[in-house]
């Protein structure tokens, strides 16, 4: 069974997020453990991670397009995406509530910002993983 372009796109996005934002989380964790609290240091690392992510996504989608011609997104693809996002959105909501709790408690902004980035990354990874599961299982 061959994969649709949408499914290949999900694989590329998932790999890119794990590599790009995963590397950011590792580096940011080391910076936090070393006692760095300057937002500029984290902004630089985040900028590099985003550039790496974009380059990976562009290259991955070019390869996916060469391997199989992109087709129009159909209704099952849309439903798969909506269903996965619906099931993964709670993680982002919990991260946002956690960030509000940190701000209320007077915790350094660097912790709040990194919690938000982590929640966003984990929510996206979960959503993409759920899409892959749905593609493999069907509806």
* Span 76-109, pLDDT tens digits: 888 888 999 999 999 999 999 999 999 999 999 9
Give the model's pLDDT for residue 109. 93
C-alpha distances in Å from residue 6, one per residue of 11, 44, 86: 9, 32, 18
d(CA 116, CA 100): 10
Calculate mean pLDDT across residues 16-42: 94
Looking from the CA of 100 toward its CB, the CA atoms found within 13 Å total 6
- What is the 8-class DSSP label of residue 108? -
How many CB atoms neighbour CB 129 within 10 A?
15
- Under DSSP, is residue 60 helix (H, G, I), strand (E, B) or coil? helix
* pTM of the predicted structure, to 2 decimals: 0.87
Is the pLDDT at 1 greater than 70, yes or no? no
Domain-wise residue ranges, the chain: 5-137
d(CA 6, CA 71): 8
């Amino acid at each position: 069974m061959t994969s649709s372009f949408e499914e290949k796109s999900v694989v590329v996005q998932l790999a890119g997020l794990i590599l790009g934002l995963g590397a950011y989380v590792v580096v940011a964790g080391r910076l936090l453990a070393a006692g760095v609290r300057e937002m500029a240091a984290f902004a630089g690392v985040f900028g590099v991670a985003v550039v790496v992510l974009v380059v990976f996504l562009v290259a991955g989608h070019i390869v996916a397009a060469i391997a199989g011609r992109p087709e129009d997104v159909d209704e099952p693809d849309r439903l798969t995406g909506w269903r996965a996002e619906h099931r993964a959105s709670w993680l982002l909501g919990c991260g946002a509530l956690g960030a509000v709790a940190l701000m209320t408690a007077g915790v350094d902004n660097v912790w709040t910002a990194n919690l938000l980035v982590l929640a966003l990354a984990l929510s996206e990874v979960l959503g993409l993983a759920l899409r892959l599961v749905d593609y493999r299982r069907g509806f």
